[in-house]
């Protein structure tokens, strides 16, 4: 018997991979709640950029895993990718008879629309995080280009993410109300909405106008989006979109107001019973620990790593003043900060407060974990990743460089959101690399110096970052030059002659 679902994914992969596009996999997967797959398939974006031979494999497995996790959301995502990111050609409709109906029953116009500015569909000034600003901008862009199906799909995703943030702020460490730990994903929209309905009465002190009516109003977006998916019809009229415009603006502003009020509350209180705040006592910093972390002593760090087997990455981020103690109480209630403190190369993780501060980790405990992040009360971050699953001979240095950049950006952003000031120092140690070789592509037969690394531990130069901006990579150039030196290269190949990062 033919596996129709696997055949569908395979054919979608063929349509995507055979043509170049500027599709942003990171944003698309994050928007639909599948950003954890970027951790699972780290080669997806890089293989797309270089048009490597494993790009189709990464597409297929990413879509397959997404489909197995949440079928409805995956179908919506595929709708968006095919409808808005790719130029569909006549031969595609001939080769894949289902495609025309999938895109739009009754015909599909395959040309890029020309913008004729229609004004913003959503007018929202304050947002809890930049992710929402990007999503609202995307909704407005879809509206401007008259891609009304995109307006509907992303409006649903906006409401869903806002409600998840409210649930996370309310329940704190009780993540089962919005997240399925065993599957490493959030609950579907229906479950999230039902759990939101359960806490409406407790949220009335924040927003007195809340009642059961709001559930019905939000539910219509869930029901509409689901009907579009199951019927394979993505045609949404302008009249239908306009009929939702005023109400959607009201709902989004209302949900954002609740989130912002919750976060204001969280800075000064936590809940011991529903709706009842209790003052958080600031814990004193433990000076011996602070002094130890403040110095960033390499000998001590290397000693801590010496007992670890396999390939190890260690990132230490140290604020300039570690004599202070910072309030970390908002981390668990703030979806974005806790996400930015995620363990290295980890698709799902656990977190909790501990004696030292706040900990995120894979596995059941920190001791059993192969990846963890500890932020101490003095603002120091310690991130450790261990891979001892197999003997590796080659390491893709471009992959390693990009991984370090991504996680340093995340952790630095978390410090900023917690009010921990710059400058900060970055210390990186790579262990377990003696005899291994750096390559500049996943196919070692094509590129690479083929020079073995002559030591087990690479203590990379410590650098200081004066402020967080989009050019954090300029501060890391000495780090990456030294890393490439270890593999026989003159310097990092990813910087131009002006010292600017090129990827």
Which has the higher per-residue pLDDT, 149 or 359? 359
- The answer to whether residue 500 is domain-embedded is no
Residue ending a domain, choose from 85, 112, 139: 112
The DSSP bridge pattern shows strands 350-353 and 394-396 to be unpaired
382 with 426, same domain: the answer is yes
At 382, is the pLDDT very low, low, confident or very high (cuts 50, 70, 90)? very high
Q: Which of 116-120, 236-240, 486-490 has the lowest mean pLDDT?
A: 116-120
What's the total number of domains in the chain? Answer: 3
- The answer to whether residue 501 is domain-embedded is no
127: helix, strand or coil:
coil
Q: Is residue 452 predicted with pLDDT exceeding 80? A: yes
- The answer to whether residue 322 is domain-embedded is yes
316 with 216, same domain: the answer is no
32 with 171, same domain: the answer is no
378 with 359, same domain: the answer is yes
299 with 197, same domain: the answer is no
Q: Which of 243-252, 261-270, 309-318, 388-397 has the lowest mean pLDDT?
A: 261-270
Closest CA to 379 of 329, 331, 321: 321
Measured CA to CA, the distance from residue 140 to residue 133 in angstroms comes to 11
244 with 295, same domain: the answer is no
Residue ending a domain, choose from 229, 245, 280: 280
- pLDDT value for 440: 74
Measured CA to CA, the distance from residue 474 to residue 457 in angstroms comes to 24
Domain that holds residue 199: 121-280
- pLDDT value for 469: 65
Measured CA to CA, the distance from residue 386 to residue 302 in angstroms comes to 14
Mean per-residue pLDDT for 134-158? 83
At 284, is the pLDDT very low, low, confident or very high (cuts 50, 70, 90)? very low
- pLDDT value for 195: 92
- The answer to whether residue 406 is domain-embedded is yes
Q: Is residue 344 predicted with pLDDT exceeding 50? A: yes
Q: Is residue 379 predicted with pLDDT exceeding 90? A: yes
Q: Is residue 295 predicted with pLDDT exceeding 60? A: no
Which has the higher per-residue pLDDT, 289 or 209? 209
Residue ending a domain, choose from 79, 94, 112: 112
- pLDDT value for 277: 33
- The answer to whether residue 65 is domain-embedded is yes
Q: Is residue 112 predicted with pLDDT exceeding 50? A: no
Q: Are 266 and 170 in contact (CB under 8 A)?
A: no
Average pLDDT value over all residues in the chain: 78
At 311, is the pLDDT very low, low, confident or very high (cuts 50, 70, 90)? confident
Q: Are 398 and 484 in contact (CB under 8 A)?
A: no
Give the H/E segment covering residue 256.
helix 238-266
Here the tokens at position 319 are 């604020």
Which has the higher per-residue pLDDT, 86 or 480? 480
The beta-strand segments (E) located in 388-484 are 394-396, 424-431, 437-439, 457-459, 463-465
276 with 325, same domain: the answer is no
Q: Is residue 314 predicted with pLDDT exceeding 80? A: yes
Mean per-residue pLDDT for 45-52? 78
- pLDDT value for 1: 38
Q: Is residue 156 predicted with pLDDT exceeding 50? A: yes
At 501, is the pLDDT very low, low, confident or very high (cuts 50, 70, 90)? confident
324 with 392, same domain: the answer is yes
421 with 320, same domain: the answer is yes
98 with 18, same domain: the answer is yes
- The answer to whether residue 494 is domain-embedded is no
At which residue do the structure tokens 């989009």 appear? 470
- What is the DSSP code string of 364-391? SSTTT-SEEEEEETTS-EEEEEEE-SS-
- The answer to whether residue 499 is domain-embedded is no
- pLDDT value for 283: 32
- pLDDT value for 477: 93
The pLDDT tens digits for 128-138 are 887 788 889 88
- pLDDT value for 106: 34
23 with 93, same domain: the answer is yes
- The answer to whether residue 493 is domain-embedded is no
The pLDDT tens digits for 253-282 are 999 999 888 766 543 333 333 333 332 333
108 with 171, same domain: the answer is no
Which has the higher per-residue pLDDT, 308 or 171? 171
Mean per-residue pLDDT for 293-321? 67
Q: Are 17 and 68 in contact (CB under 8 A)?
A: no
């Amino acid at each position: 018997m033919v596996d129709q679902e696997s055949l569908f994914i395979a054919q979608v992969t063929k349509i995507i991979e055979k043509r170049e596009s500027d599709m942003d996999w990171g944003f698309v997967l994050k928007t639909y709640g599948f950003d954890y797959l970027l951790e699972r398939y780290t080669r997806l974006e890089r293989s797309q950029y270089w048009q490597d031979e494993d790009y189709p494999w990464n597409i297929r497995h990413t879509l397959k895993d997404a489909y197995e996790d949440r079928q409805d959301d995956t179908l919506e995502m595929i709708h968006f990718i095919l409808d808005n990111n790719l130029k569909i050609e006549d031969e595609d409709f001939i080769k894949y008879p289902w495609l025309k109906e999938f895109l739009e029953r009754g015909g599909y116009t395959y040309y890029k629309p020309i913008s004729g500015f229609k004004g913003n569909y959503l007018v929202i000034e304050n947002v809890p995080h930049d992710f929402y600003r990007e999503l609202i901008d995307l909704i407005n862009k879809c509206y401007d280009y008259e891609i009304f199906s995109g307006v509907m799909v992303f409006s649903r995703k906006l409401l869903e993410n806002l409600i998840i943030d409210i649930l996370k702020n309310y329940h704190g460490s009780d993540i089962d109300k919005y997240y399925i730990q065993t599957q490493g994903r959030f609950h579907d929209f229906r479950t999230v909405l039902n759990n939101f309905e359960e806490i409406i009465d407790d949220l009335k002190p924040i927003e007195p106008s809340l009642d059961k009516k709001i559930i019905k109003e939000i539910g219509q977006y869930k029901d509409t989006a689901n009907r579009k998916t199951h019927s394979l019809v993505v045609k949404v009229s302008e009249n239908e979109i306009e009929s939702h415009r005023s109400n959607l603006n009201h709902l989004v502003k209302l949900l954002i107001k609740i989130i912002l009020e919750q976060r204001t509350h969280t800075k000064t209180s936590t809940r011991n019973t529903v709706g009842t705040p209790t003052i958080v006592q600031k814990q004193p910093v433990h000076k011996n620990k602070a002094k130890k972390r403040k110095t960033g002593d390499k000998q001590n760090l290397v000693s801590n790593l010496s007992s670890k087997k396999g390939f190890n990455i260690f990132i230490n981020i140290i604020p300039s003043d570690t004599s202070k103690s910072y309030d970390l109480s908002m981390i668990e209630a703030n979806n974005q900060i806790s996400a930015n403190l995620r363990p290295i190369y980890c698709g799902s993780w656990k977190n909790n407060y501990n004696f030292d501060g706040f900990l995120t980790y894979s596995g059941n405990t920190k001791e059993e974990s192969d990846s963890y992040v500890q932020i101490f009360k003095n603002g120091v971050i310690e991130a450790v990743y261990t891979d001892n699953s197999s003997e590796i001979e080659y390491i893709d240095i471009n992959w390693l460089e990009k991984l370090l950049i991504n996680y340093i950006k995340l952790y630095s952003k978390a410090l900023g959101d917690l009010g921990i000031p710059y400058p900060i120092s970055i210390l990186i140690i790579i262990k377990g690399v003696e005899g291994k070789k750096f390559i500049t592509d996943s196919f070692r037969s094509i590129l690479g110096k083929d020079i073995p690394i002559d030591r087990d531990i690479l203590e990379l130069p410590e650098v200081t970052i004066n402020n967080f901006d989009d050019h954090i990579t300029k501060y890391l150039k000495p780090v990456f030059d030294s890393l490439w030196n270890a593999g026989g290269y003159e310097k990092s190949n990813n910087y131009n002659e002006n010292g600017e990062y090129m990827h």
